[in-house]
Chain A
């Protein structure tokens, strides 16, 4: 799966969960709807979509589209 495909799926998840148009630059800092409760929904949906599971530490670190994409690509490469 290419980086673009990964990013596109992450954006689709963000749009569906947050009911807002997210961009590749979106993060918890610049998207106020991305609060802690929505964060869980996003991460769970990402785990479902890519068949991965994040560690407890990662759950806190995955706070942007870019970080989530990087983590998925790293997991798929491993």
Chain B
């Protein structure tokens, strides 16, 4: 499939996708099925087959449960699904006379759906003016795991007319042909993956004929060409970095040549320091990708590798089958389009903590240097001015905490992947608690780096979800993060056992090893208990400042 995907890139990621081109792509039902309930008042059928070639990129296929046309949204025929999609023609509603009343009605219908379903809800519609769109976006922001897909804005960005007055009578939907193809790509490459799948955290790029035209080892530093397309590509990559996506360089070249290139070619928007990881050598690129993943503390399935050499792409994909790989076109604009449409890279919302990721990694070098100055861990943390802040049921961090559940792979004990709706339930539950942990020191503010969600059952504290971000791993604070969080939960006092829910995943070895070390027995799949005294008697690490916020603040 990977080789086939390279051949299909031109059609899938063209500036404007064509229904006719998509029809020529053989259907694929490969990969994970994703069940999608479609609640609609206009036709969705013509979009459905157009999504399949895009969903195949990330190895999933949609299994659709299409509701009957229903302007009242009674959700008749609901069944459990991975995604709830509201596909609404807003022109069928009388919005103008009292838009706030319509918005309130829609909110009440979303509440009804939320009571039935914990799945992410996507409200896909369009509205006559910007004020209405902003109001709908603001309303959905207040509903957990609910997103507004603005069809009008999505089409306007691409200069595509959303509505075609000719077709409403015959097709059951006013959406134009061009818009249907475009929206199919938005749904399958951006909106659904961003609501459902772990995101891409890093883009690793080859240099020659990818970030510029030509080969630096043959054409020389002044001989390689930076086309207008390459300038745009590099600027967009820089922008991605500012939004918290790591950019890495992986190139077969002489290190000193490439370093000199970035020092001398001041016309390159990307600078040497913009790369969070650099692997320039004549060795195996697959090994280099492994080292980059290790350095960035991410798994290879959270990385997109871009190269103009199909042989390199294939050999790297052979070693890392979960790695995302993309062929770099000679047209750099085409390369950028493919990157920008790659499922998992687009986000519904960029959290402020996302943008801290790149800066935080850079600070690690300084932390390591500091660690060499003293053997006393207390002195080390005091020099660092390390601070952990714990917050109980922090509703204002809901989006970030759901992100952590979705993104954390390595230090994730239960891999429940609780979404916003499920976390919000635990904020207000009498016997449940969610604790967030923020980490900062004088070198960087890492933001919210961990969450622990637990339920009290009799004398047991059941830990349902435990995620520590990779940016906090290796900082020798795992016990402080987890045990202090558990010990300060309002539902902890009186517990006799702390029972960890454990799932063995493909990449959560660090979390399993931590639990094995804590309990002194192998962290087997299922429930794994330790005496509550382990938590109650835990002495925090010397030199770390701890702050607990929000005790008794368990409000809806």
Chain A residues engaging chain B, CB cutoff 8 angstroms = 13, 16-17, 36-37, 39-41, 43-45, 47-49, 54-56, 59-60
Subset of 11 A-B contacts with CB under 8 Å: A13-B23, A37-B46, A40-B167, A41-B19, A41-B45, A41-B49, A44-B46, A45-B23, A48-B20, A55-B166, A56-B169
Contacts of A55 in B (CB 8 A): 166
User: CB-CB contacts of B240-269 with A at 8 A, as 1s and 0s?
Assistant: 000000000000000000000000000000
Are A44 and B172 interface neighbours, CB within 8 A?
Answer: no
User: CB-CB contacts of B170-195 with A at 8 A, as 1s and 0s?
Assistant: 11100001001000000000000000
The residue in chain B whose Cβ has the minimal distance to the Cβ of A53 is B166
> Residue B43 at the A interface, CB < 8 A?
yes
Docked Cα-Cα span, A36 to B172, in Å, equals 9
Chain B residues engaging chain A, CB cutoff 8 angstroms = 18-21, 23-24, 43, 45-46, 49, 165-167, 169-172, 177, 180
Contacts of A37 in B (CB 8 A): 43, 45-46, 171-172
Given contacts A48-B18, A48-B19, contact A59 B46 (CB under 8 A): no
Given contacts A37-B43, A56-B169, contact A47 B177 (CB under 8 A): yes
Q: List 10 other contacts, CB 8 Å, given A16-B24, A44-B177.
A: A13-B20, A17-B49, A37-B43, A37-B45, A37-B172, A39-B170, A41-B46, A48-B18, A48-B177, A56-B169
Are B19 and A45 interface neighbours, CB within 8 A?
Answer: yes
The residue in chain B whose Cβ has the minimal distance to the Cβ of A58 is B166
Contacts of A41 in B (CB 8 A): 19, 45-46, 49
Contacts of A43 in B (CB 8 A): 170
Are A44 and B170 interface neighbours, CB within 8 A?
Answer: no
Docked Cα-Cα span, A27 to B45, in Å, equals 21
Docked Cα-Cα span, A41 to B172, in Å, equals 12
SS class of chain A's interface: helix, strand, loop or mixed? helix
Are A40 and B170 interface neighbours, CB within 8 A?
Answer: yes
Are B166 and A44 interface neighbours, CB within 8 A?
Answer: no
Minimum Cβ distance to chain A for residue B390 (Å): 55
Docked Cα-Cα span, A56 to B272, in Å, equals 57
Docked Cα-Cα span, A12 to B205, in Å, equals 39
Docked Cα-Cα span, A40 to B180, in Å, equals 11
Are A59 and B170 interface neighbours, CB within 8 A?
Answer: yes
Docked Cα-Cα span, A56 to B171, in Å, equals 11
Minimum Cβ distance to chain A for residue B121 (Å): 25
Are A56 and B172 interface neighbours, CB within 8 A?
Answer: no
Docked Cα-Cα span, A44 to B47, in Å, equals 11
Most chain-B CB neighbours within 10 Å: which of A13, A44, A56?
Answer: A44
Q: Which 9 A-B pairs have the closest CB atoms?
A: A48-B20, A40-B171, A44-B177, A16-B23, A56-B166, A49-B20, A37-B45, A48-B18, A45-B20
Contacts of B180 in A (CB 8 A): 44
Docked Cα-Cα span, A45 to B22, in Å, equals 9
Minimum Cβ distance to chain A for residue B73 (Å): 22
Contacts of A13 in B (CB 8 A): 20, 23
